[in-house]
Amino acid sequence: MTGSRSSHRRRLLQARRHPLQTLLSLVILLLISWVVWSTGAWLIGGANWLIVTENLPLFAVGSYPESERWRPLLWLALLSLMTALTLLQPIISTRLRISGLVLSWGWLAMLPIGLLLLAGGAGLQTVSSRDWGGLTLTLLLTGFSGLLALPLGILLALGRRSSLTLPRHLCRLYIDGLRAVPLIAVLFFGQLLLPLFLPVEIEINRVLRAVVAFALFAAAYVAEDVRGGLQAIPGTQLEAAAALGLGPWQIQRLVLLPQALRVAVPALTNQAIGLLQNTSLMAILGLVELLGISRSLLANPAYIGRHLETYIWLAGLYWLVCTAMALMARQLERRHPSSTSAIPS
């Protein structure tokens, strides 16, 4: 208590010696308060949110047939339920807590369930991918692209660290080449140029082309994140695994990769969030995800001049989804902390 009083007295004396610094701090605080107050007053009383409230179904599912909108909405509800169950695990009693394995399989099942609900089949009416859009399409692109990019990135990271010359140089060429190319160029090639090289009778779905382009691009960055995790593991791990009689593939599968992926969780989370945000580039190439829906709505004469409300709404929606992803990744880190001091059993 005495120490806190003395430190407080010391700060007051320092403020008296530097009045200009104190005045500048007060001015900055007043400026921040004014900005927060003005922004809040505009958001509550000055903004016109009709463009958002009247078009919430469009932001959620795009131009999906109205009679079948329950399908993408059901998938979004399942995703929200899985997110809530995952984030509430630390505060749920041990008796009601869901195991991490069940949650993992539940998240993996969300992608085929979403594809089945959106595309149709198994008794559901078939809906063309041209009618997919909004938040549903954004999450679908992110999920499938990440699912393809992760194993491909792991293989590239292992290939770049390989002792074989040809695979090592090919993986290095791929990783360095994709990282040197802007994402919009890869998407442009996948959406517009790739069909020109295929026979006329072969037509690849636009959503599939987008997923493959995103996955190929993200895999190069995932490979570098995984390679960083592999480099963080001390060499004594390899020596101990070899002393136990494990083969090269067993060492990679049982010793190196589990620890490397735990170390790389923060970087991989950053890549997943970046992948979600980069799906907005598809609006330039014709897919009506969140940004594409907003652009089409702003072209409506009834909503001319509502750009600020629209983009603030989009920013808040992206922030909500990205924050949920970051919190789930942080919970994964706490549940499985990275450790390179011992070989996992």
Q: What is the pLDDT of residue 197?
A: 73
Contact assessment for residue 220 and residue 172, using Cβ atoms and an 8 Å cutoff = no
Q: What is the pLDDT of residue 7?
A: 66
Contact assessment for residue 259 and residue 233, using Cβ atoms and an 8 Å cutoff = yes
The mean per-residue pLDDT over the stretch 13-37 comes to 78
pTM over 0.85: no
pLDDT digits (tens, 9 = 90+) for 256-304: 888 888 888 889 999 999 999 998 888 777 778 888 888 888 888 888 8
pLDDT digits (tens, 9 = 90+) for 139-174: 999 999 999 999 999 999 999 888 888 989 999 999
Look up residue 312 and give its two tokens.
């603030």
Q: What is the pLDDT of residue 3?
A: 54
For 69, phi and psi rounded to 5 degrees? -65, -15
Q: What is the pLDDT of residue 345?
A: 34
Higher-confidence residue of 181 and 241: namely: 181
Under DSSP, the state recorded for 91 is G
Q: Cite the DSSP H helix spans in 161-256.
A: 165-179, 183-188, 206-231, 235-243, 248-251
The domains of the chain, with CATH numbers, are 47-335 (1.10.3720.10)
Q: How far apart are CA 106 and CA 100, in angstroms?
A: 10
Question: C-alpha distances in angstroms, 165 versus 161, 272, 284?
Answer: 10, 31, 40
Q: Is 82 exposed, middle or buried (0-12, 13-18, 19+ CB in 10 A)?
A: middle
